[in-house]
């Protein structure tokens, strides 16, 4: 006869891991994509990202931590993109005279801005998100409405590695 009032403990570690013939197949959710929501985009990099909390992260990270991270990224963009805009305007005005060489400063400044955002995300990953099983990255993806590329924040789920215990 079954013991109806007994409490059994479920092991949550193996919820997304399947075993088949000495192979481990782990399923992880699709990454969360945070697209730029600013009104200015220079070489695919928007001037800000939306701070609204995505529902896919509701059980993984606190909304305050998510918002703080996006605001740190936005502050980096707020500091660097006005200078990029000035150099872009100067480069466009002088483009015919310099045969396009006047656009090199804005290309280098945009690369520097992307590098600063990546460094900030690496710091956030090592400080908090890798411990929570998440990885933030700045990636290039194709726009939904056109063939142009844009920079987005991609939040990937790190799969849990099962620990085999000898029987």
SS3 sequence, 29-94? CCCEEECECCCCEECCEECCECCCCCHHHCCCCCHHHHHHHHHHHHHHHHHHHHHHHHHHHHHHHC
Residue 145 is predicted with a pLDDT of: 81
Instruction: Indicate the domain borders of the chain.
Output: 64-158
Residue 14 is predicted with a pLDDT of: 45
Cβ distance 59 to 132 under 8 Å?
no
Cα gap 82→113, rounded to integer Å: 11
pTM of the shown model: 0.74
Longest dimension (CA), the chain: 91
Cα gap 79→113, rounded to integer Å: 9
* 12 DSSP 8-state letter: G
Q: What is the token pair recorded at 9?
A: 């403990």
Residue 136 is predicted with a pLDDT of: 95
Residue 155 is predicted with a pLDDT of: 94
Q: What is the token pair recorded at 162?
A: 């099962």
> Of 15, 49, 5, nearest to 154 (Cα)?
49
Mean pLDDT by 10 residues, the chain (167 residues): 55 50 66 89 88 90 94 93 83 80 83 94 94 93 85 90 59
Cβ distance 141 to 164 under 8 Å?
no
- The CA R_g of the chain, rounded to the nearest whole Å, is 22
């Amino acid at each position: 006869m079954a013991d109806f009032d007994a409490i059994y403990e479920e092991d949550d570690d193996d919820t997304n891991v399947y075993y088949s013939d000495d192979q481990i197949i782990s399923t992880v959710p699709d990454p969360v994509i945070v697209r730029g929501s600013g009104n200015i985009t220079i070489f695919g990099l928007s001037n800000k990202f939306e701070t609204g909390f995505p529902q896919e992260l509701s059980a993984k990270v606190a909304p305050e931590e998510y918002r703080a991270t996006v605001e740190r990224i936005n502050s980096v963009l707020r500091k660097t993109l006005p200078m990029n805009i000035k150099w872009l305007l100067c480069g466009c005005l002088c483009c015919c005279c310099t045969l396009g060489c006047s656009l090199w400063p804005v290309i280098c400044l945009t690369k520097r801005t992307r590098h600063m955002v990546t460094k900030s995300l690496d710091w956030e990953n090592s400080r908090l998100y890798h411990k929570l099983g998440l990885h933030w990255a700045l990636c290039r993806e194709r726009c939904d409405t056109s063939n142009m590329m844009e920079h987005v924040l991609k939040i990937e789920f790190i799969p849990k590695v099962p620990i085999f215990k000898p029987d």
